[in-house]
């Protein structure tokens, strides 16, 4: 199978591409700027430009590109970038695929569990409506941007993904240093829910969607055992053999990242269940947090 991948140099893409190649697929990276390798094709979502000819006869597309959500303060400019990097790129890709002579069989597009907004301890399946907040709006518009492909009868999978755990980067990568120094602790009350997924499972679930032609619509890409922030803190401390008694001070976080980001990303959460993924026959390699953390750290 010939698979085009956007965001191929990100945390997920860097693991997905070699996994696809190892399975015998040919991967075409969709990159910004001038392609430097024969397996690359160019696009510029802001300019509305993409190498449509290079996508002809591609069998499948996995769309992962988007600006980082939690690494910088949410200024008005940053929020426009977060939204635009998802909606502009997704709409450009979906419209282009819909206009090809030889359309791909499937478009697998990223989204996030933030779609559900702050929901407390309520167990959330794919049937639950959109919540409130900036990120809920981003996710809703991100998913809406895939519509041109769906209207062209391309099979579309929308992945509402929780934080992806890998020691190589992402949230876990940022947590490792303070926790190893014994400075890790719960954030706020620690009762906010954290719906995570191991990088291995996220990649394997994407491959599951590629292999199963009946896979379409929204899927929660989260492990079947979400935890609270307190449980995350205690488990990571136990795995690293470090104390986690002192709560994380919020003032420095607010000063660096702003209150809106801290409140929405760190002090609220979602308890999200992978209902459709499990019903489709996917079996998690790392269903519990402790084994997922140990596997991630062992690999790193």
The answer to whether 88 and 131 have CB atoms below 8 angstroms apart is no
Q: How far is the CA of 293 from the CAs of 11, 191, 235, 283, in angstroms?
A: 16, 20, 9, 18
Which stretch of DSSP H or E encloses residue 91?
helix 76-98
Per cent of the chain over pLDDT 70 is 100
Flag whether 179 is in a domain: no
SS3 of residue 8 by DSSP: coil
CA distance 58 to 27: 9
Give a yes or no: residue 242 inside a domain: no
Take residue 61 and report the two structure tokens written for it.
């597309």
* Assigned domain for 212 exists: yes
CATH of the domain at 47: 3.40.50.720
Average of pLDDT values for 271-278?
98
For 15, 86, 299, the CA distances from 7, given in Å and listed in that order, are 11, 11, 22
Give burial (CB, 10 Å; 0-12/13-18/19+) of 250. Answer: middle
pLDDT at 36: 85
Average pLDDT value over all residues in the chain: 96
Report the pLDDT value the prediction gives residue 33, as an integer from 0 to 100: 86
Q: What is the pLDDT of residues 21-78, one digit of tens each?
A: 999 999 999 999 888 888 999 999 999 999 999 999 999 999 999 999 998 999 999 9
pLDDT at 34: 87
Q: Is residue 229 part of a domain?
A: no
| Residue 181 belongs to some domain of the structure | no
How much is the average pLDDT of 100-112? 97
Burial class (CB in 10 A: 0-12, 13-18, 19+), 259: middle
Res. 166 pLDDT band, cuts 50 70 90 = very high
Does residue 170 form part of some domain?
no
Prediction pTM value: 0.96
Domain for residue 205, yes or no?
Answer: yes
What pLDDT is recorded for position 30?
97
What band does 241 get if pLDDT is binned at 50, 70 and 90? very high
What confidence tens digit (pLDDT) does each residue in 191-220 have?
Answer: 999 999 999 999 999 999 999 999 999 999
**Containing domain of residue 13, as a range?**
2-165+196-224+271-286
What do you get for the CA distance between the two ends of the chain, in Å? 30
Domain membership flag for residue 202: yes
Q: Give how many domains the chain has, as a whole number.
A: 1
Biggest CA–CA distance in the chain, Å, is 60
Residue 300 pLDDT > 80, yes or no?
A: no
CA atoms within 13 A on the CB side of 239: 23
Provide the pLDDT for residue 44.
96
């Amino acid at each position: 199978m010939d698979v085009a991948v956007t965001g191929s140099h990100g945390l997920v893409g860097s693991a997905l591409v070699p996994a696809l190649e190892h399975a015998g697929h040919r991967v075409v990276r969709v990159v910004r700027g001038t392609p430097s390798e024969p397996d690359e094709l160019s696009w510029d979502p802001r300019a509305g430009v993409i190498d449509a000819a290079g996508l002809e006869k591609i069998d499948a597309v996995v769309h992962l590109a988007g600006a980082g959500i939690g690494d910088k303060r949410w200024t008005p400019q940053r929020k426009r970038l977060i939204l635009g990097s998802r909606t502009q790129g997704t709409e450009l890709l979906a419209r282009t695929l819909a206009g090809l002579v030889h359309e791909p069989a499937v478009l697998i597009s990223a989204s996030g569990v933030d779609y559900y907004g702050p929901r407390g301890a309520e167990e959330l399946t794919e049937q639950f409506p959109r919540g409130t907040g900036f990120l809920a709006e981003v996710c809703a518009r991100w998913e809406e941007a895939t519509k041109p492909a769906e209207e062209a009868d391309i099979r579309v999978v929308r992945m509402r993904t929780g934080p992806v755990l890998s020691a190589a980067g992402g949230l876990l990568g940022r947590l490792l240093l303070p926790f190893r120094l014994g400075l890790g602790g719960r954030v706020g009350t620690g009762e906010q829910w954290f719906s995570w997924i191991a990088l291995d499972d996220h990649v394997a679930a994407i491959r599951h969607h590629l292999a199963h032609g009946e896979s379409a619509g929204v899927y929660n890409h989260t492990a079947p055992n979400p935890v609270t922030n307190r449980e995350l803190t205690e488990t990571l401390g136990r795995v690293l053999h470090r104390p986690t008694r002192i709560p994380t001070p919020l003032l420095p976080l607010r000063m660096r990242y702003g209150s809106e980001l801290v409140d929405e990303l760190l002090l609220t959460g979602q308890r999200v269940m992978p209902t459709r993924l499990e019903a489709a026959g996917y079996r998690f390699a790392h269903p519990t947090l402790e084994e997922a953390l140990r596997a991630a750290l062992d690999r790193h």
